Amino acid sequence: MAPLPNADAYPKVSRLRDGTAVEIRPLQDGDKIRLAHFFERIPESERYYLKENVTSPEVIAHWTNNIDFDRVVPLVAISNDQIVADATLHRSRAPARRHVGELRVVVDPEFRELGLGRRLIRELLDIASEMGLNKATFELVAQRETAAIMAAESVGFQVVATLKGRIRDMWGNYQDLVMMELPLQEHESWWRF
Ligand SMILES: CC(C)(COP(=O)(O)OP(=O)(O)OC[C@H]1O[C@@H](n2cnc3c(N)ncnc32)[C@H](O)[C@@H]1OP(=O)(O)O)[C@@H](O)C(=O)NCCC(=O)NCCS
């Protein structure tokens, strides 16, 4: 398995806007129960739009048992021995697509709007840049994942395409999928933005 670049830097302690300290570190194989409990605390109305069935024990077990940084870099934030945020960087194995990394991030509702989501996005962008990636992307649902769209914009992501009606929402209505991108050449611009 490829090592995580800058693995020695973790765990890191991050102080949130309200003064709470959380620990940021890569997901570990012993995190299965913590990760399952974390996703149980995410409202169904938000889980519905995520790309995977995060309440399936098989999905969670697959993630924690098969950590492979070459394919997915998973970071978590920990408070009181609980996972309070999960952020991942996904890469294709195909050579034609390996220069692009897709980000996903979910924060516990109790820990939102304190800067944690943005901090994790920035951490993953640092890792993507260290890995030599060229571009980071987000695929988000317009009108349904607006907080994530705002969080991505807050570090410099821009909307590059909108796929009309690509998503069917919980009520059977069609919503747009927003593709966002950030070039990684301008090292650490995401910390300044
Ligand atoms: C998207 C999400 C991860 C943001 O996490 P967060 O920790 O609350 O975000 P932050 O506090 O770091 O916010 C960063 C910026 O995002 C924007 N933002 C965050 N939440 C917002 C909201 N509810 N409304 C408007 N803007 C918001 C703000 O610009 C904020 O910057 P500011 O605090 O300086 O104004 C969180 O809302 C979440 O888990 N949502 C559900 C899951 C989801 O939709 N994930 C995307 C799928 S990949």
Q: Provide the residue range defining the domain that includes 130.
A: 7-136
Residue 186 lies in a domain: no
If you count them, how many residues does the chain have?
Answer: 193
Nearest alpha carbon to residue 60 among 107, 27, 105: 27
Domain membership of residue 19 (yes or no) is: yes
Residue to probe by mutation, ligand 1, list 18, 86, 104, 118, most atoms within 8 Å of CB: 118
Residue 15 gets the label, from left (phi > 0), alpha (psi -120 to 50) or beta, of beta
For residue 97, how many other CB atoms are within 10 A of its CB? 11
In a domain, 14, yes or no: yes
Q: Report the C-alpha gap between 7 and 173 in whole angstroms.
A: 43
Percent residues over pLDDT 90 in the chain: 94
In a domain, 172, yes or no: no
At 22, which CATH number?
A: 3.40.630.30
pTM over 0.85: yes
Q: Is the CB of 60 under 6 A from ligand 1?
A: no
How many domains, the chain? Answer: 1
Mean pLDDT value across the chain: 96
> Does some domain include residue 162?
no
Answer yes or no: is the C-beta of 116 below 6 A from any ligand 1 atom. yes
Residue 190: in which H helix or E strand, if any? helix 189-192
Q: Report how far residue 3's alpha carbon sits from residue 71's, in angstroms, rounded to the nearest whole number.
A: 11
pLDDT tens digit sequence for 3-22: 898 899 999 999 999 999 99
pLDDT given for residue 1 in this prediction: 67
Q: Is residue 191 part of a domain?
A: no
CA distance 118 to 105: 9
Tell me which of 86-90, 99-103, 188-192 is least confident: 188-192
Residue 128, pLDDT score? 96
- Cα separation, 93 vs 120, in Å, equals 23
Residue 44 has pLDDT above 80, yes or no: yes
Is 94 inside a domain boundary? yes
Rounded to whole angstroms, the Cα distance separating 155 from 153 reads 5
Is residue 64 domain-resident? Answer: yes
Closest ligand 1 atom number to CA of residue 144: 44
User: What is the edge-to-edge ordering of all strands in the sheet holding 72-79?
Assistant: 12-15, 21-26, 72-79, 82-91, 100-107, 135-141, 174-183, 158-168
Ligand 1 atom closest to Cα of 114? 11
pLDDT tens string 96-135? 999 999 999 999 999 999 999 999 999 999 999 999 999 9
